Structure 1
Amino acid sequence: MLFHQRFVPGLAIASYIVGDEKSGEAAVIDPTRDVDDFIEFAKEHGLHIRHIIETHVHADFVSGALELKARLNDQATLYCSGYGGENWTQSFADQHVKVGDSVKMGDLRFEFQHVPGHTPEHIAITLFDTSRSNDTPWLMFSGDFLFVGDVGRPDLLGEEEKKELAHQLYESCFQRLTELPDITEVFPAHGAGSLCGKAIGSRRSSTVGYERRFNPSLQELPEKQWVDRLLNEMPLSPPYFKRMKKVNRDGPAIVGVELPGQQRISAQQLFERTCEECLVVDVRSKEAFAAAHIPDAINIPLGDNLPTWAGWVLPYDRPILLVSDNPADVKSVTTNLLRVGFDDVQGHLQEGIGAWETSGYPLAMLNTLSVHELEKKHKEEKQLTVLDVRTDKEWNEGHIEGAVHIHGGTLQESLGEIAKDKPVAVVCGSGYRASIASSFLQRAGFERVSNVIGGMSAWKSAKFPMV
């Protein structure tokens, strides 16, 4: 058996390709939308991808199942859960599988368990290598049902559904999971950093037995107590999750081989608003953005967290133009945006911000503060608003006295809580999220905005007081 786990940092997505050397067939499980890696792996190992299997309707990224099937000229069979009912059946599937169904591939056999709770239709996939054992599953692809050190959250479909899903998740953990032996290896759809769980571990695989013994969420308690514990301090989920659920239920558009966003836009074209409704997204570093940027641009620095923050803060109904230091980065940026459903990337600024500067077009700048400057201003300037855009958990662990706390992902809905006629110093963990938030404040007309470089990490290192 050939086995490959493909991991996407930031969104922390784990997808899998399994190959049977005897038959030359391969199956891909929970693919992302950028499917080249799966195709290349299969080619390198002399395999033909014949099966594509989805564990559930994903919330945090656009499924690549249809994309992969299209790139394979429809020569693979796509399997989705047969438990979706009226609301969550993926009608584009070739086959809807249930308990008792199987998919065979040479010496390998995939079987299915219904493990609702994270979502109603969720299935886990057990893999048998019949050349070794016909009765004992070697691996389980657990999707978002079971993670290393955690289980999937049941609160993503809304308050009404949460209670029923939490009950189903309890049953899946303490009834359905008991059917599997301790030695079965567990390969989940996410690792540490994903918002599909609360406390996912950094290892990317485990065993049923190890999780049964040491996973806090698999320690049996009375159901209400277990649910209360699971939901306590659950992180805020991005609003784009609801959109992704619908996109993945109905089937996303096919991108094809050619990525969008590769067109070069001149500074003059951008200035003359060739793309009248376009949103300018500047993916340069927070320091470069602060030094000079196009007025009203949004800064989301290129990195692992770009797709997550794009999903948090960017509107889906606006075409996007990119500003980057390096044209070679455009492919990576576009791929990251496509992973969370931003399909309408129109192009990128030719020759970057330098072309804009030398063309004599208006420039904006963002003031920056060191934590030492902030500490002094905080003491001396009574009008200063310190805006902390970190998570609730980070805030509760310690913050600057008198600071205003608004999660960076919800800032746009809370602008009225910040005085526009006063200076605002924005702080996060390191300055990354604060730069995103600062760019939105500038766009909303806040004229005296500063990004605190180094954020609360630097504040703590400087041993300044926190409450």
Structure 2
Amino acid sequence: MFIQKIKSEGLSHLSWLVGNDGEAFVVDPRRDCEVYVEEAARAGCRITHIFETHRNEDLISGAPILANLTGARVLHGPNAAGDVAYADTAREGDTFEFGNLRVRVLETPGHTDDSLSFVIYDTDFGEDAVGVFTGDALFIGDVGRTDFYPDRAGEVAGMLYDSLQKILKLGDQALVYPAHGAGSVCGDNMADREFSSLGYERKYNDMLRISSRNKFIDAKLAEHHYQPPYFRLMEKLNLTGAEPAPRVITPRPLSPAEFRALPGGPAIVDARTVSAFLGAHLPGSLAIPAPMIPAFAGWYIEPGQPVVLVVSDPEQAHEAAQHLVRIGLDNLAGFLTTDMPEWSARGLPFHSLPVMHVDDIRERFQNPPENWQLLDVRSKTEYEEEAIEGSVHIYAGELADKTDELDKNRHYTVMCASGARATIAASVLERAGFSKVDVFLGSFGAWKSTD
């Protein structure tokens, strides 16, 4: 018997391959799913079942694709917002046998109406649960968000509370296998580790320590989460079944001439480091460092829109493209590795963005330049917890849709927690025609360290 975690970096998505007696099942596979077949074969197993804990909002499910590759049966929960075309429905109490490994279904709605948890037992060693795949109901250090049904906000928060009590009844000995880890958009307070037990979570997970159902509901209603536009595409594709990921994920390399000849105004995503972008970048490009693509690309790129990547090397192009493919942004027109000195040597245009030190910001508050504004692009929760007096707030993800609220004649210094999101936001402003923009490098972290 084995349990293997397969993590999708950036999304912080955790899927699980479990095998015993020559058979295996997968929990919540991702779109580029050949890895499950390869790892199962390496363990001498064939994949016979695919279990989905819920209809994911932040990535494309690989369940229908993996089913076509393996012939495995897909099981999904009841009460999805429509029929899941590629899956059979699993319900409370259903069981599946893999030798001495038994899987039992729990209906655990709240995060979504169709949420399931899958409990595993070793029938050779007693009747208690060994572990539970909790999907997005229970994380390590946090619990699932409940904001996908705003007209039923209190109801679904209460449903999640009830589901968590059902999971906790499995016993402190049971290990927890969630669908996401720290860094996911599906929770704000996940621990920076991917292993735990129900006993440990019961004792140390702040949300599980709330003993009153009404207080739990109040706590969930007070949360604020963002829903990038691409979530709607994920929800649709995860009902009907997405096409397989491109066989070759890395797009083709482009010369400067080929790039300039591309039709249709592609989105230019600069996936290099923040410092590389600040130093020199292509006009109109978006600064989205490769590890941050899952969190931010879906805010700014339309489904089907051609994408050109600016990267340091082909390996970074592969990483960036992989992130885009997992959220359905497949129209990859190519990548550029031309460095900016070579670009400028050809007489081609480039931009740079000035950076501000914390001392510069303090000086600006003491002697404000004419028509200057500090723009904080952290999340609403971060901003409400603590902010620099005199700043204004627009979340980085929402900025592209809110540039009309800002005056293009003003000078904006953009800040976040460290400078990474601020650079993304500054590139959004620059692309929208704002010419007086700089970045507070170090941002709130630097401000606090010298306070």
The offset of 1:196, in angstroms, is: 1.7
1:116-165 superposed Cα distances (whole Å, 9 cap, x missing partner) = 111001111011222223x3221110111112232211112x31132332
Q: Indicate which of 56, 65, 72 corresponds to 1:67.
A: 65
8 Å CA contact 2:185, 2:295 repeated in 1: no
- Report the Cα distance in structure 1 between the residues aligned to 2:266 and 2:320, rounded to whole angstroms: 16
8 Å CA contact 1:325, 1:353 repeated in 2: no
Equivalent position of 1:79 in the other structure: 75
Equivalent position of 2:241 in the other structure: 251
Q: What secondary structure, in the 3-state scheme, does the structure 1 residue paired with 2:281 have?
A: coil
- Report the Cα distance in structure 2 between the residues aligned to 1:397 and 1:163, rounded to whole angstroms: 24
Does residue 153 in structure 1 map to residue 145 in structure 2? yes
1:386-424 superposed Cα distances (whole Å, 9 cap, x missing partner) = 111112232234322211111111112221232211211
- Report the Cα distance in structure 2 between the residues aligned to 1:92 and 1:433, rounded to whole angstroms: 38
Q: Indicate which of 88, 92, 103 corresponds to 2:86.
A: 92
Equivalent position of 1:414 in the other structure: 402
Compared CA separation, residues 354 and 129, structure 1 to 2 (3 A): farther
Does residue 384 in structure 1 map to residue 372 in structure 2? yes
The offset of 1:178, in angstroms, is: 5.4
Does residue 164 in structure 1 map to residue 178 in structure 2? no
Q: Indicate which of 27, 34, 37 corresponds to 2:35.
A: 37
1:64-121 superposed Cα distances (whole Å, 9 cap, x missing partner) = 2223233x2x42222222x125x2431211x321123222222222110111111001
Equivalent position of 2:107 in the other structure: 114
Instruction: Please list, as runs of the form range in 1=range in 2, the aligned pairs for 1:14-413 lying within 5 A after superposition.
Output: 14-20=14-20, 23-70=21-68, 72=69, 74-81=70-77, 83-84=78-79, 87-93=81-87, 95-133=88-126, 135-156=127-148, 158-174=149-165, 176-177=166-167, 179-219=169-209, 221-259=211-249, 261-272=250-261, 274-303=262-291, 305-349=292-336, 351-353=338-340, 356-380=343-367, 381-413=369-401
**TM-score, with length taken from structure 1:** 0.90
8 Å CA contact 1:53, 1:79 repeated in 2: yes
Equivalent position of 1:427 in the other structure: 415
8 Å CA contact 1:326, 1:352 repeated in 2: no
- Report the Cα distance in structure 2 between the residues aligned to 1:287 and 1:151, rounded to whole angstroms: 35
The offset of 1:297, in angstroms, is: 0.8
- Report the Cα distance in structure 1 between the residues aligned to 2:29 and 2:372, rounded to whole angstroms: 47
8 Å CA contact 1:67, 1:256 repeated in 2: no
Q: What secondary structure, in the 3-state scheme, does the structure 2 residue paired with 1:258 have?
A: coil
8 Å CA contact 1:281, 1:322 repeated in 2: yes
Q: What secondary structure, in the 3-state scheme, does the structure 2 residue paired with 1:264 have?
A: coil
The offset of 1:341, in angstroms, is: 1.8
- Report the Cα distance in structure 2 between the residues aligned to 1:363 and 1:203, rounded to whole angstroms: 41
The offset of 1:367, in angstroms, is: 1.9
Q: How many residues matched?
A: 450
Q: What secondary structure, in the 3-state scheme, does the structure 2 residue paired with 1:147 have?
A: coil
8 Å CA contact 2:157, 2:221 repeated in 1: no
The offset of 1:245, in angstroms, is: 1.9
Name the amino acid aligned to 1:364. H
- Report the Cα distance in structure 2 between the residues aligned to 1:371 and 1:51, rounded to whole angstroms: 55
Compared CA separation, residues 325 and 360, structure 1 to 2 (3 A): same
Name the amino acid aligned to 1:230. K
- Report the Cα distance in structure 2 between the residues aligned to 1:178 and 1:436, rounded to whole angstroms: 41
The offset of 1:256, in angstroms, is: 4.4
- Report the Cα distance in structure 2 between the residues aligned to 1:102 and 1:353, rounded to whole angstroms: 59
Between 1:428-437 and 1:219-228, the stretch displaced more is: 219-228
The offset of 1:307, in angstroms, is: 1.1
- Report the Cα distance in structure 2 between the residues aligned to 1:231 and 1:348, rounded to whole angstroms: 43
Name the amino acid aligned to 1:257. R
- Report the Cα distance in structure 2 between the residues aligned to 1:50 and 1:352, rounded to whole angstroms: 48
- Report the Cα distance in structure 1 between the residues aligned to 2:106 and 2:220, rounded to whole angstroms: 23
Instruction: List gaps (5 residues or longer) in structure 1.
Output: none
The offset of 1:7, in angstroms, is: 2.6
8 Å CA contact 1:438, 1:449 repeated in 2: yes
Between 1:340-349 and 1:367-376, the stretch displaced more is: 367-376
- Report the Cα distance in structure 1 between the residues aligned to 2:445 and 2:211, rounded to whole angstroms: 37
Name the amino acid aligned to 2:23. E
- Report the Cα distance in structure 1 between the residues aligned to 2:184 and 2:62, rounded to whole angstroms: 18
- Report the Cα distance in structure 1 between the residues aligned to 2:411 and 2:205, rounded to whole angstroms: 46
Name the amino acid aligned to 1:393. T
- Report the Cα distance in structure 2 between the residues aligned to 1:369 and 1:248, rounded to whole angstroms: 44
8 Å CA contact 1:217, 1:230 repeated in 2: no
Q: Once the two structures are aligned, what percentage of the paired residues are identical?
A: 34
Compared CA separation, residues 297 and 4, structure 1 to 2 (3 A): same
Name the amino acid aligned to 1:58. N
Name the amino acid aligned to 1:426. V
Between 1:420-429 and 1:308-317, the stretch displaced more is: 308-317
Equivalent position of 2:438 in the other structure: 450
- Report the Cα distance in structure 2 between the residues aligned to 1:161 and 1:313, rounded to whole angstroms: 29
Name the amino acid aligned to 1:64. G
Q: What secondary structure, in the 3-state scheme, does the structure 2 residue paired with 1:17 have?
A: strand
- Report the Cα distance in structure 2 between the residues aligned to 1:19 and 1:399, rounded to whole angstroms: 49
Compared CA separation, residues 266 and 354, structure 1 to 2 (3 A): farther
- Report the Cα distance in structure 1 between the residues aligned to 2:168 and 2:140, rounded to whole angstroms: 17
